[in-house]
Amino acid sequence: GAGFDPKDFLDIDHLLSDEERDIRATVRSFVTDRVVPYVGDWFEEATIPRGLPRELGGLGVLGMHLEGYGCAGTGATAYGLACMELEAADSGVRSLVSVQGSLAMYAIWRWGSEEQKERWLPGMATGETIGCFGLTEPDAGSDPGAMRTRARRDGGDWVLDGRKMWITNGSIADVAVVWAGTDEGVRGFLVPAGTPGFTAPEIRKKLSLRASVTSELVLDGVRLPADAVLPEVSSLRGPLSCLNEARYGIVWGAAGAARTCLEAALEYAGERTAFGRPIAGTQIQQQKLAHMALEVNRATLLALHLGRLKDAGRLRPEQVSMGKLGNVNAALDVARTARQILGANGISLEYPVIRHMNNLESVVTYEGTADVHALVIGGALTGVQAFR
Ligand code: TGC
Ligand code: FAD
């Protein structure tokens, strides 16, 4: 009969379909071969291989939950499981996939014209074409409504001026989805790399998410044709709808990062001897490991619950906020505890733990800070909006 598996403590696997388990196994095997052995070096060198997007495209995870245009069209839970396995390897790799599929591709898929979808999505699904998503600015992060980037009509053209900051994939993108204020409200623009007046310098000196490209976008009189604007939305609802998708992936991803930290701590505690016995045999370390396992299992169950709601078309943004807040905070807690269990080795890139711990400092800030999500939940609970 089926024995008890401490690695799946709550027997969550039996809640998944065969197809979902297959997709998870495929992504897990990919990251085991192509990411895990190398990602410590990528992190140290602050680089990702140029070929990685195409490999991820070949794996089928780019725009995986979208229908048509070369996308796999899987369910939301399957997409979440893929995010979990990717982020179990590294948050930067999951970020690449989130930004490509849930932000850039989703923006075009949801708010673009038929011509825009046909022009961009198939190449983005294979990873031949890389996208980025420019919402945040140097002086407007949590409050994107305060953005200063402007687009004005000039005859049949649009002209964009402004600056975006902290943009994942910016310097490697072939197309930037740039959100700008217009006389008609906030609108999205597709800005191909190489357009005169558009540059994307890379941001250096990051101590988090180093296996991920982060950039500034500079828009200096960037002239675009009329068909560069996403026609179907002209309010903050446009970019915020994309964030719902990416945040949903992070709910799963954070549980994956936490799982890796738990596994590393368990293995280490079993092997490390102090005072003549394995530290795994001490009460204080067992209490920590039990707490970490509880958090990982609870985070995974929450992710799965939100996945089922999303598959049923019932997932609300406030629920995504609860998942993002809870799971990223839990993952940070697990990562910090694991780091201590590893002692001095906990600060080395020879182990995955400090890399995850540092990455999660970005994850807790981007896609809505923990404070922003607490305020979204607080607003829904009390009926009183506390942002402004
Ligand atoms: P508010 O006045 O409430 O709403 C403005 C318009 O937006 C609509 N809306 C939403 N639509 C869809 N989904 C949501 N979650 C939505 N929330 C609001 C709303 O209905 C309204 O529509 P309309 O048509 O009536 O105009 O907006 P607000 O300015 O008060 O802001 C609310 C707040 C603070 C929650 C929002 O601004 C917010 O989420 N701020 C955080 C910004 C953020 O998360 N930025 C992330 C940038 S991208 C990124 O970090 C990528 S990281 C890389 C990776 O993912 O790996
Ligand atoms: P601020 O909004 O200035 O917040 C500063 C502090 O104030 C935070 O602690 C915040 O919680 C708090 N705060 C803000 N408002 C309130 C309030 N009303 N009440 C109480 N406290 C408040 N953005 C993109 O558009 N595209 C990307 O691809 C992208 N990738 C990123 C990659 C990385 C590695 C990082 C670190 C960021 C990325 N971002 C991206 C930007 C990210 O979304 C923003 O950093 C985030 O939204 C927070 O904005 P901010 O940094 O301007 O902080």
Helices 353-363 and 237-271, axial angle in degrees (round to 10): 160
Of 279, 260, 234, whose CA–CA distance to 335 is shortest? 260
For the cut 80, the answer to whether the pLDDT of residue 217 exceeds it is: yes
Q: Which residues are catalytic?
A: 367
pLDDT at 3: 83
Question: How far does the centroid of ligand 1 lie from the alpha carbon of residue 105, in Å?
Answer: 18
User: Whole-angstrom Cα distance, residue 309 to residue 282?
Assistant: 41
Which of 48, 137, 139, 142 is the best mutation target for the ligand 2 pocket, counting ligand atoms within 8 Å of the beta carbon and taking the most? 142
ipTM above threshold 0.95: yes
Cα angle for residues 93, 248, 100 (degrees, 5° grid) = 40
Residues 223-239, mean pLDDT to the nearest whole number: 98
Name all residues whose Cβ lies below 6 A of ligand 2: 99, 133-136, 141-142, 166-168, 209, 214, 362, 365-367, 369, 371-372, 387
Mean of pLDDT values over 202-224 = 98
Measured from the alpha carbon of residue 239, the closest ligand is: 1
At 265-308, the pLDDT tens digits run 999 999 999 999 999 999 999 999 999 999 999 999 999 999 99
Distance 198 CA to ligand 1 centre (A): 25
Condensed to tens digits (0 to 9), the pLDDT of residues 145-187 reads: 999 999 999 999 999 999 999 999 999 999 999 999 999 999 9
What is the best residue among 133, 182, 233, 236 to mutate for testing ligand 1's pocket, by most ligand atoms within 8 Å of CB?
A: 236
Q: Whose CA is nearest to atom 49 of ligand 2?
A: 141
pTM score over 0.95: yes
CA-proximal residue: ligand 1, atom 26 (nearest) = 235
β 131-134/175-182 pair status: parallel
Q: State residue 388's pLDDT score.
A: 87
pLDDT of 66 reads 98
Give the residue whose CA is nearest to atom 47 of ligand 1: 367
Span 322-335, mean pLDDT?
Answer: 99
Share of the chain above pLDDT 70, in %: 99
| 198-219: average pLDDT | 98
pLDDT tens-digit map of 30-49: 999 999 999 999 999 999 99
Spacing, Cα 108 to ligand 1 middle (Å): 17
227-251 average pLDDT score: 98
Q: Which of the ligands is closest to the CA of residue 173? A: 2
Q: Residues 350-377: pLDDT tens digits? A: 999 999 999 999 999 999 999 999 999 9
Query: Tell me, what's the pLDDT at 1?
Result: 47
Per-residue confidence (pLDDT) for residue 2, from 0 to 100: 66
* Mean per-residue pLDDT over the chain, rounded: 98
Amino acid identity, position 157: D
Average pLDDT over residues 126-140: 98
Distance from the alpha carbon of residue 244 to the mean position of ligand 1, in angstroms: 8
